[in-house]
Amino acid sequence: MPELDSDLPRTPGMRLDDRVAVVTGAGRGLGRACAVALADAGAEVVLVSRTKDELDALASAIAARGGKARALECDILDSRHIAERIEALERIDVLVSNAGGNMPEPFVQVTEERLDRILDLNVRSAFLVSQAAARRMIAGERGGSIIHMSSQMGHVGAANRTVYCMTKHAIEGLSKAMAVELAPHGIRVNAIGPTFVLTPLTRPFFDNKAFRDDTLASIPMGRLAELEDIMGAVVFLASPAAAMVTGASLTIDGGWTAR
């Protein structure tokens, strides 16, 4: 029987046991899927949104399949909520800053009110939530992983999405700057850039055949993303398997931005 080669490297694991992961916008869609993925990998997940009923239902569903999760009702548009409820958590090892929104409309029709709302939701809240998480990670002296939910639109432009593209380009820049500044604390910061993902929020758009056909024509792989396509990437970036990955943007876009 041949002897085992003790010099062979060991593949890093993707388990997240004994880690606490915070997910914003966890009540539905991408945030819900990210929370499930992190819980499946062993993390205790703090589910954050304004919709407590949805969070309670998700926490129960995660517990029913052996995971750990708890609801944290919080309005991330309110800086006092962020300070009192997220920064006050005893421990944060992983943050998935997922909450965001979009209001597609022609550039010349964008009102100041809608501009401010999307900027507040997609940029200001992401900045303040990740700032609060970073403070807790620094205080804990265990390092950590911050993952911003960006978009393929953080790399390209698109008609009727000027505000959304602007905010996601901002998230890409924020992720890189945070990565450089927080690296000495052992905190990694990355972004994920999905293409269109089928969720209850996006599904109505694809009832429009012209929109669906135009979208699919831009994706070399010829299909929309499913929630499961995003879940593995979140676990990877949160895990020891990504120990040297920081300041990166992982596009999950079926080749959209490769053209």
Q: Encoding tokens for residue 59?
A: 């926490």
H-helix or E-strand spanning residue 197: none
- Asked whether 58 and 47 are in contact (CB, 8 A), the reply is yes
Please indicate whether residue 52 is annotated as part of the active site: no
Please indicate whether residue 209 is annotated as part of the active site: no
Q: Is the dihedral of CA 49, 54, 59, 62 positive or negative?
A: negative
Name 192's bridge partners.
Answer: 149, 250
Q: For the beta carbon of residue 188, count every other beta carbon within 10 angstroms.
A: 24
DSSP character at residue 224: P
- Asked whether 164 and 115 are in contact (CB, 8 A), the reply is no
Q: Which of 52, 68, 164, 176 is catalytic?
A: 164
Q: Encoding tokens for residue 173?
A: 């820049």
Q: Encoding tokens for residue 254?
A: 């079926």
Alpha-helical runs (H) found in the chain = 29-40, 52-64, 79-81, 112-119, 125-140, 162-182, 209-217, 227-238
Nearest Cα to Cα of residue 238 among 205, 166, 189: 189
Q: Which of 52, 168, 176, 209 is catalytic?
A: 168
CA 63 to each of CA 28, 39, 68, 171, 217: distance values in angstroms, whole numbers, following the listed order:
17, 9, 6, 32, 40
Which residue numbers are catalytic?
164, 168
